[in-house]
Amino acid sequence: MDYERAKLFLSQRNQIQLLDYYDQLDEEKRRILLDEIEKLNFTVVKNINKSNDKKKVGKLKPIQAKSIEDIDKNREKYEEEGLKLLRENKVGAVLLAGGQGSRLGFSKPKGMFDIGETRPLFIFEILMNNIKEVTAASGRNFPVFIMTSVDNYDETAEFFNSHDFFGYPKDKVHFYKQDTEPACDFDGKIFLSEKHRVSQSPNGNGGWYSSLINSGLNRVLEREGIEWLNVFGVDNVLQKICDPAFIGATSLSRTFCGAKVVKKTCPKEKVGILCEQDGKPSIVEYYEMPQELAQKRTRKGELVYRYGVILNYLFNVHVLNATLSWKLPYHQAVKAITHIENGETVVPKAPNGYKFETLVVDMVKYMGNCLAYEVDRNKEFAPVKNKEGVDSVNSARELLKANGYEL
């Protein structure tokens, strides 16, 4: 795209401010800016919801889960099926490490956080050790895809390199960058992050599959014959990755998707709830759940909507391919966005605009069905989200120690 076309194109979209500093740029920077403008997705900013109205939640019903008791009764059968699929190389893992980890306030990629007390023990290391336990049981290494943001790609890849991939075969690890969306002010005007760069941010963890395809890694999926992908977040240090029983139970239940769930501790716990929404298994975010439903209890005193998700899903690749043609909804997050104003970099203290994200929780509805697979939260859920308090470094350390880790 040349300057004249960009000018016309941006005027038509009310975004001409992106060329404010064009005259001050050298040739190379002009090219970078015009290329970025050409690739931008303007639809997200066009459709902003200025009033931030909450979306309607639809008709909700609780979901039946495979309970821990059911699973224990059938554990041998599920594990056998899961290990068979792992041996046949039908399963891969996807580590979501593209987040910004702002609540933790750690400047590097979250996986580089050292959670050890008397020795270094990095979050990435814990996750890779868990993967190695599974491959030792199945006798076969599976591919591990690691999604980073544009900004933390190099640091993440270098960290793995400098730690010799924590003993996992290097050729089985594939890094890729998450796609981005523009960030804008409350009126939908897209910011510049530098005079020649459009402000962009990761498109949310729902972008994991389209970004994997856009980065060309479908070649690996096809070459290896992968039929299932186990997707998980970086920050749960008790995460069980490619858990054979989970894989086996999902495959034998003939669903296209499985979600690990835990019983919520209280109605207000900040986890998405797996339930039926308008007749389909879906995840309703805690802030969208009507209070009276969140608090409703059975006669036995259990929460009716009790199953919270822990960001560990199994997705069938054939069905995922079909979902690529559907558009996941964008959630607009109100954020403080660093940008250029009057030629200077402004780092706002208060929110000044929107970033746009799709969420992995929304993918479940698109899969059509889902096995809710209950796990023991004390053994599989230790998220490192905050510096202190709930879901913090300290609470995760306590849970790790309770599970026999020496820190």
* Binding-site member from 6, 63, 83, 96 for ligand UTP (CB under 6 A): 96
Quick one: which segment of 91-99, 192-200, 215-223, 371-379 binds ligand UTP (CB under 6 A)? 91-99
Q: Supply the minimum distance, in Å, between the C-beta of residue 124 and ligand UTP.
A: 12
Encoding tokens for residue 176? 């890729």
Position 100 contacts ligand UTP (CB under 6 A): yes
Angle CA(364)–CA(284)–CA(43) in degrees, nearest 5? 70
Quick one: which segment of 113-121, 161-169, 197-205, 241-249 binds ligand UTP (CB under 6 A)? 197-205
d(C-alpha 380, C-alpha 305), whole Å? 20
Cβ-closest position to ligand UTP: 99
Q: Supply the minimum distance, in Å, between the C-beta of residue 237 and ligand UTP.
A: 12
Q: Are strands 307-316 and 280-284 parallel, antiparallel or unpaired?
A: unpaired
* Binding-site member from 82, 188, 202, 248 for ligand UTP (CB under 6 A): 202
* Binding-site member from 92, 101, 188, 267 for ligand UTP (CB under 6 A): 101
* Binding-site member from 178, 199, 200, 230 for ligand UTP (CB under 6 A): 178
Grouping H, G, I as helix, E, B as strand and the rest as coil, residue 275 is strand
d(C-alpha 83, C-alpha 352), whole Å? 50
User: Between residues 211 and 250, which has the closer beta carbon with respect to ligand UTP?
Assistant: 211
Quick one: which segment of 97-105, 163-171, 289-297, 399-407 binds ligand UTP (CB under 6 A)? 97-105
Angle CA(311)–CA(176)–CA(139) in degrees, nearest 5? 70
Q: Alpha helices, DSSP H only, in 180-234?
A: 208-214, 218-224
Q: Are 191 and 183 in contact (CB under 8 A)?
A: yes
Position 118 contacts ligand UTP (CB under 6 A): no
Position 97 contacts ligand UTP (CB under 6 A): yes
Q: Report CA-CA distances (Å) from 224 to 217, 273, 339, 354.
A: 11, 34, 43, 39
Q: Which residue shows structure tokens 């402004």?
A: 346
Q: Are 120 and 114 in contact (CB under 8 A)?
A: yes
Q: Are 79 and 248 in contact (CB under 8 A)?
A: yes
Position 146 contacts ligand UTP (CB under 6 A): no
* Binding-site member from 92, 99, 143, 244 for ligand UTP (CB under 6 A): 99
Grouping H, G, I as helix, E, B as strand and the rest as coil, residue 205 is helix
d(C-alpha 223, C-alpha 239), whole Å? 27
Would you tell me how many other CB atoms lie within 10 Å of the CB of residue 218? 16
Position 199 contacts ligand UTP (CB under 6 A): no
Q: Measuring CA to CA, which residue among 21, 58, 93 is closest to residue 277? A: 58
Over the window 21 to 60, marking each residue x when it contacts ligand UTP by CB under 6 A and - when it does not, the resulting string is: ----------------------------------------
User: Between residues 233 and 281, which has the closer beta carbon with respect to ligand UTP?
Assistant: 233
Q: Supply the minimum distance, in Å, between the C-beta of residue 178 and ligand UTP.
A: 6
d(C-alpha 29, C-alpha 197), whole Å? 8
Encoding tokens for residue 118? 């008397």
Over the window 228 to 247, marking each residue x when it contacts ligand UTP by CB under 6 A and - when it does not, the resulting string is: -----xxx------------
**Within 13 A of 306's CA, how many CA atoms are on the CB side?**
19
User: Between residues 201 and 255, which has the closer beta carbon with respect to ligand UTP?
Assistant: 201
* Binding-site member from 87, 103, 177, 280 for ligand UTP (CB under 6 A): 103
Q: How many residues bind ligand UTP (CB under 6 A)?
A: 19
Q: Supply the minimum distance, in Å, between the C-beta of residue 355 and ligand UTP.
A: 9
Residues lying near ligand UTP in the complex (CB under 6 A) are found at 96-103, 147, 178, 202, 204-205, 233-235, 311, 357, 385
